[in-house]
C-alpha cells in the first residue's frame, strides 16, 4: 500500500511540473512564489514517504543455544552428595561399632576384679595330668601362657600342685622359666608351691584365701566351695554346676575366650 501512494505522488508532481512549464509565463511573481512553496512541500513529503516509516527496532541478536549441562551437573552433584553421605555413614558406623575388648579387659571382667588367684599346675598350665608324668617331663601349654601372664598383671597369682619328688619340682620350675612365665615380674618362683598330697593343695588354698581358685580335681573344688569366693573347674567333660560360685570350662584359655 505504501508503494502505491508513492507512485501516485510522483505522477502528481510530474503533471504539476508540466503544468508549470506551460503556465509559468502567464503567472505573476506572487503566484510563482506560492507555487514554488507548494512544490517544496510536496518534495519534502515525498522524501518522508521514501524513508522507512519509523525507526526500526533493533532485532535482538539470536544467540546460539548452548547445550544444557544441567542434567550432567545435577547428576554430578547427586553423585557427590551420595559419596559424601556414604563416607559420613561409614565414619558413623565405625564410631559406633562395638570395640572388641582386649584380653586384659576380659580377664579382669571374668575374674570380677579378684585380686588373688590360686591355680593348679597339672592339666591347667601344664600338659601333664599326673604326678608320675612330671617325673619324666614338664611342658607348659603354649595356648594358656598369654592368659597366665595377663592374670599376673592384675592379680596376685600362686601356682600349686602335688609332686612325687624334688626332681619333678625342678622340671616344673625349669619349664615355667623357659616359657617366660617369670619374665613379666608378676610371678616369681617363690609363688610356685609344691606339696606331696591332694589334701596339701587344699590346705595351701585355704591358707592363702584367694578370690579365685582354678583346679581340675572335682573333689577339691567341691571341698573348697564353702571357703572360696569363686572357683573354676577345668574339665574336658562338662559337668553339672555343683554350686553357684563354681564355673566350669574345658580349659583356662577357653574360659577367657582365647580359643
- Residue 148's CB: how many other CB atoms inside 10 A? 25
Fold of 103-256: Rossmann fold (3.40.50)
Cell of 256: 577367657
**pLDDT value of residue 70:** 55
pLDDT of residue 114: 85
pLDDT of residue 236: 79
- Specify the pLDDT at position 185: 72
Give CA–CA dist 253/142, Å, rounded.
10
For residue 107, the model assigns a pLDDT of 86
CA distances (Å), origin 77, targets 65, 70, 81, 88:
23, 10, 6, 16
Long-range contacts of 143-146 (CB under 8 A, 24+ apart): 143/251, 143/253, 143/258, 143/259, 144/251, 144/252, 144/253, 145/179, 145/180, 145/181, 146/103, 146/253, 146/258
In the chain, where the domains are located: 103-256
- C-alpha gyration radius of the chain: 58
Which pLDDT score is estimated for 162? 96
The pLDDT of residue 96 is: 60
143 Cβ contact partners less than 8 Å away, ≥ 6 residues apart: 251, 253, 258, 259
Copy the grid coordinates of residue 203: 590346705
Instruction: Write down the pLDDT at residue 50.
Output: 60
End-to-end CA, the chain: 108
pTM over 0.85: no
Q: What does each of the 259 residues of the chain score in pLDDT, given as a tens digit? A: 555 655 665 666 667 666 655 555 555 555 556 666 676 666 666 566 665 554 555 555 555 555 555 555 555 666 666 666 676 666 556 656 677 888 888 888 888 878 999 999 999 999 999 999 999 999 999 999 999 999 998 899 999 999 999 999 999 999 999 999 998 777 999 999 999 999 999 999 999 999 999 999 999 999 999 999 999 999 877 767 778 889 999 998 888 876 5
Which candidate, 138, 82, 108, 40, places its Cα nearest to that of 256?
108
Amino acid at each position: 500500500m505504501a508503494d502505491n501512494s508513492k507512485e501516485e505522488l510522483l505522477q502528481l508532481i510530474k503533471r504539476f511540473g508540466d503544468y508549470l512549464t506551460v503556465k509559468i509565463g502567464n503567472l505573476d511573481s506572487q503566484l510563482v512564489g506560492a507555487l514554488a512553496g507548494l512544490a517544496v512541500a510536496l518534495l519534502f513529503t515525498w522524501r518522508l514517504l521514501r524513508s522507512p516509516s519509523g525507526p526500526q527496532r533493533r532485532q535482538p541478536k539470536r544467540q546460539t543455544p548452548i547445550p544444557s549441562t544441567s542434567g550432567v551437573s545435577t547428576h554430578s552433584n547427586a553423585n557427590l552428595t551420595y559419596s559424601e553421605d556414604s563416607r559420613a555413614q561409614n565414619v558413623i558406623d565405625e564410631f559406633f561399632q562395638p570395640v572388641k575388648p582386649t584380653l586384659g579387659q576380659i580377664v579382669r571382667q571374668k575374674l570380677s576384679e579378684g585380686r588373688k588367684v590360686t591355680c593348679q599346675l597339672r592339666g591347667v598350665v601344664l600338659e601333664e595330668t599326673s604326678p608320675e608324668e612330671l617325673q619324666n617331663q614338664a611342658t607348659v601349654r603354649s595356648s594358656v601362657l598369654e592368659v597366665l601372664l595377663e592374670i599376673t598383671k592384675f592379680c596376685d597369682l600362686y601356682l600349686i600342685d602335688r609332686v612325687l619328688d624334688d626332681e619333678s619340682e625342678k622340671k616344673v620350675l625349669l619349664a615355667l622359666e623357659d616359657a617366660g612365665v617369670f619374665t613379666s615380674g608378676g610371678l616369681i618362683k617363690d609363688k610356685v608351691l609344691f606339696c606331696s598330697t591332694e589334701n596339701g593343695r587344699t590346705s595351701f588354698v585355704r591358707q592363702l584365701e584367694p578370690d579365685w581358685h582354678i583346679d581340675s580335681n572335682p573333689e577339691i573344688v567341691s571341698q573348697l566351695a564353702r571357703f572360696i569366693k569363686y572357683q573354676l573347674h577345668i574339665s574336658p567333660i562338662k559337668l553339672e554346676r555343683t554350686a553357684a560360685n563354681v564355673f566350669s570350662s574345658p580349659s583356662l584359655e577357653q574360659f577367657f575366650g582365647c580359643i
